[in-house]
Amino acid sequence: MSKRTRPRVFLVDDHHLFRAGVRAELGDSVEVVGEADEVAAAVELIGEREPEVVLLDVHLPDGGGQAVIEAVRVEHPDVRFLALSVSDAPEDVIAVIRAGARGYVTKAISGAELIEAIERVADGDAVFSPRLAGFVLDAFAGMPAEESPASVDPELDQLSSREREVLRLIARGYTYKEVARELSIAIKTVETHVSAVLRKLQLTSRHQLTYWAANRRLV
Amino acid sequence: MRGRGRHQRFQRRGLHFGPCRRSTEDRMFGGVAGGLAQRTGIDVTVVRIGFVLVSLAGGFGAALYLVLWLVTPMEGTGSIAARATRDRRGILLAASFLPLLALTAILGHVVALGFVSSFGWPLFVAAAALVLIWRNCDEQERAWLHHVADPIIRIGVPSEHRWRRLVARCALGAVLLVGGTTTLVLGHPSRAVLRPLGGALLVVAGFAVIFGPWWLSIARDLVAEREARLRAEDRAEMAARVHDSVLQTLAMIQRSADRPQRVVQLARSQERQLRSWLFEGEVRGAVGDGAVTLAAGVQAIADEVEPDYGVPVDVVTVGDCPLDEELRELLGAAREATVNAAKWSGAPMVSLFAEVEPDRASVYVRDRGRGFDPGSVGEDRRGIAESIRGRVSRHGGRVAIRTSPGEGTEVELSMPLAGAPR
């Protein structure tokens, strides 16, 4: 990973202070090619500059991060998104992931961890923070397959026991490396499992997921 | 449709004479009469009486009034009709009155009561217009409509005299039903009316079968939409409260800029407060002994330990269940493990993970601190570990501690669940 060129990163956040802070923290490890504070400007500039990774605030006026992903994806399917948020409302996070983000981290993340996450997303892998892993386990928990008979692919509606194991470790605060060591598998395999979970999360047609999110939406 | 044609004509006339606007001051319902009065110079009371008189003629006046309400702009804003053209669901709802109109017309024809069918059209137009107005008017006008409609809505609201009212209503309804049917049957020239009446009932049943599900789904959609709007309002209110509190904290942080410890403390406590507001349901507002569920209890541990030891505790919970005596012991042990991690490990943060499965509840306390050699621990640590272990295993639970020097520590606590989880 260290041999790769610096990833080209674009920042989208409606708080100027936060963008400045992230820029400072990222330092020279990445190349920040631009930033935007609203959906329309973000869509236009991302299309123009074609960054590898977009650091995307979940909460933006006029449709949120979701709107940016949906608009950019049409013409630039190669741009990858990493969601950042202070608010951990599960339904917002799940919505952005389902729109196509490759991962989710909280704004409390340290600079080094953020850089690692960006590189991971640039490489096409998924980034699961402990909280996201918890949400996903919760969303898929205790839902037997027969509850969604209309599903196209029942495989998509359930996590394999290995995937569950990996997610559980991530939720417990393990890094990918630590998960790999704990389960005696390669880091690459951990990444494969996590990417598979992300795919399931994005593709599952299970009503439960929306139902779950709606249920959790308490404010 | 009809409304739009009227709209164009109206606008053309308006251009000619200068625009007509609904009055904001002189209004009983939509301010239409007030606006017309201002426009034409006729006294507003006369205009109103005019509307009432025309309404008596087959309800035509009411329909006209509502359509004018829909298409005439309010002073200072656009017309509701402009917004209504984008309201697909509202138009659908308005259109759903069409089968009802057809039904009314057929029934009126069958029982040979001409006035029933003649009321049909104006009623349909009025109802459709009212639906579009209600759905598309601005907040202020909706509040006004509420104010006007409130006494009517109250009729359906359950009160302490619910039963008495229900009985009264049923009795009144029964009297009207029996009276009406009797009049129909007796008052008709020939008793043969019974047959068309039976036919009419079949027609009604047919309509109900064909359009019933559609009407139901529209009603369901409306309820869902209303709930979504209420939630959005709640959120806005919450945002106002939250911003206020954040501003105060920011001011305090500025004043204590030279005391880093204090700044961190302020920031953490504000963060906790925000979280508990924003995700009240997850935290369930309960702290310490007051916690009623496992997830709330775990969150409470974090809330207590963080400020005491200045180490952030990251909480992730999956599933939840009510607390019983065993789980309280589990939480107590988890709290000790968390305190240990915060106090001794030297790690910058502690991860706390709780999961409720159908048959067991587990809590993991993990830090990436200095760890220790389980074989050669000091008496103090050993004592603590034993107390965690003893506490949980006495209640049928299990404790596993994974650690080695430099590798951090993870304490796994689990407890079988007595009953089924929530």
Closest CA to B402 of B370, B379, B374, B368: B374
Contact A173, B351 (CB under 8 A): yes
- Quick one: A55 exposed, middle or buried, by C-beta within 10 A (0-12, 13-18, 19+)? buried
CA torsion, points B374, B380, B386, B388, in degrees to nearest 10?
-100
Contact B311, B350 (CB under 8 A): yes
Is the minimum CB–CB distance between B364 and chain A shorter than 8 Å?
yes
Q: Which residue among A89, A172, A217 places its CB closest to the CB of B364? A: A172
For residues A163 and A176, is the Cβ–Cβ distance under 8 A? no
Residues 6+ apart with CB under 8 A from A34: A10, A11, A45, A46, A49, A51
The domain segmentation of chain A, as residue ranges, is: 1-124, 126-210
Residue with more model confidence, A97 or B13: A97
Confidence grade of residue A215 (pLDDT, cut at 50, 70, 90) = low
Instruction: Say if residue B422 is exposed, middle or buried (CB neighbours under 10 Å; 0-12, 13-18, 19+).
Output: exposed
pLDDT of residue A208: 57
According to DSSP, the β-strands at A80-85 and A127-128 are unpaired
CA angle A15, A16, A17 (to 5 degrees): 95
The whole model's pTM is what?
0.55
Percent of chain A with pLDDT over 90: 32
pLDDT at B421: 42
Q: Please, what is the end-to-end C-alpha distance for chain A in angstroms? A: 41
With beta carbons less than 8 A apart as the criterion, state whether B329 and B397 touch. yes
Domains of chain B: 2-229 (no CATH), 283-416 (3.30.565.10)
* Residue indicated by tokens 């319902």: B29
Provide, as residue numbers in chain B, all residues whose Cβ is less than 8 Å from the Cβ of A89. 278-279
Judge contact between A72 and A62, C-beta under 8 A.
no
What's the mean per-residue pLDDT of chain A? 82
Q: Using an 8 Å CB-CB cutoff, list residues of chain A that contact chain B.
A: 87-89, 108, 130-131, 133-134, 137-138, 141-142, 168, 171-174, 216-219
The distance of Cα B58 from the centroid of its chain, to the nearest Å, equals 39
Top residue of B279, B315, B318, B321 to mutate, by most chain A CBs within 10 Å, is B318
pLDDT of residue B260: 79
Question: Which residue in A46, A44, A14, A15 sits closest to A32, CA to CA?
Answer: A46
Q: Give the pLDDT band (50/70/90) at residue A146.
A: very low
A-facing residues of B in 341-360 (CB < 8 A) are 351, 353, 355, 358
Question: Edge-to-edge, what's the strand order for the sheet holding B350-356?
Answer: B313-318, B350-356, B360-367, B409-416, B398-403
- CB contacts of B235 in chain A (<8 Å) are 219
Q: Which residue of A131, A172, A210 is the best one to mutate when testing the B interface, meaning the one whose CB has the most B CBs within 10 A?
A: A172
pLDDT in tens, chain B (422 residues): 444 444 444 444 443 345 677 877 777 777 888 888 877 778 888 888 888 888 777 677 888 888 888 888 876 677 777 777 777 778 888 888 787 777 777 777 766 655 556 667 777 888 888 888 888 777 777 777 777 776 665 655 555 566 777 787 788 888 888 877 777 666 666 656 566 667 777 777 887 888 777 888 888 888 888 888 888 877 777 776 677 778 777 877 877 778 777 788 778 778 877 777 766 544 343 344 566 888 888 988 888 888 777 788 888 988 888 888 888 889 988 988 898 888 888 888 899 999 988 888 999 999 988 887 766 666 555 556 667 888 888 888 888 888 888 888 899 999 998 764 44
Say if residue A148's pLDDT is above 70: no
H, E, C per residue of chain A: CCCCCCCEEEEECCCHHHHHHHHHHHCCCCEEEEEECCHHHHHHHHHHHCCCEEEEECCCCCCHHHHHHHHHHHHCCCCEEEEEECCCCHHHHHHHHHHCCCEEEECCCCHHHHHHHHHHHHCCCCEECHHHHHHHHHHHCCCCHHHCCCCCCHHHHCCCHHHHHHHHHHHCCCCHHHHHHHHCCCHHHHHHHHHHHHHHHHHCCCHHHHHHHHHHCCC
Give the minimum alpha-carbon distance from A60 to chain B in angstroms, rounded to a whole number: 14
To the nearest 10 degrees (0 to 180), the angle between helices B88-95 and B114-136 is 170
Question: Which residues in chain A are closer than 8 Å to B234, comparing Cβ atoms?
Answer: 219
Please state the ipTM of this predicted complex: 0.78
Which tokens belong to B148? 């006007």
| pLDDT given at position A88 | 63
For chain A, say whether B319 makes contact (Cβ under 8 Å): yes
Q: Say if residues B263 and B253 touch (Cβ distance below 8 Å).
A: yes
Tokens of B173: 């309804």
Question: How high is the pLDDT of residue A205?
Answer: 64
* Cβ neighbours for B32, distance < 8 A, ≥ 6 positions apart: B22, B65, B68, B69, B72
| CA B187 – CA B393 distance, rounded (Å) | 86
A172 contacts B282? CB cut-off 8 A = no
- pLDDT reported for residue B76: 66
Comparing B303 with A212, the larger pLDDT belongs to B303
Q: Of all residues in chain B, what percent are helix, strand and coil, respectively (each to 5)?
A: 70, 10, 25
From B281, B316, B355, residue closest to A218, measured CB to CB: B281
Q: Classify strands B360-367 and B350-356 as parallel, antiparallel or unpaired.
A: antiparallel
Q: What local confidence, expressed as pLDDT, does residue A117 receive?
A: 92
CATH class of A1-124: alpha beta
Cβ separation A130–B280 shorter than 8 A: no
Hey, are the CB atoms on B351 and A173 less than 8 Å from each other?
Answer: yes
Q: Is the pLDDT of residue A57 over 80?
A: yes
Interchain contact, B278 vs A171, CB within 8 Å: no
CA distance B284 to B254: 32
CB contact under 8 A, A173 and B319: no
Please list every residue in chain A whose beta carbon sits closer than 8 Å to the beta carbon of residue B312.
108
Residue A81: band (very low, low, confident or very high) from pLDDT cuts 50, 70, 90: very high
Closest CA of chain B from A141, distance in Å: 8
pLDDT digits (tens, 9 = 90+) for A106-128: 877 788 889 999 999 998 889 99
Q: Architecture of A126-210 per CATH?
A: Orthogonal Bundle (1.10)
Chain A residues whose CB is inside 8 A of the B355 CB are: 137, 168, 171
Q: Using CA atoms, how far apart are residues B136 and B422, in angstroms rounded to an integer?
A: 41
CA distances for A142 relative to A137, A158, A215, B62, B76, angstroms: 9, 10, 15, 56, 55
**CA-CA distance, B20 to B43, in Å (whole number)?**
16
Taking CB atoms and an 8 Å cutoff, what residues of chain B touch A168?
353, 355
User: To the nearest whole angstrom, how far is the Cα of B257 from the nearest Cα of chain A?
Assistant: 17
- The yes-or-no verdict on residue A217 having pLDDT over 60 is no
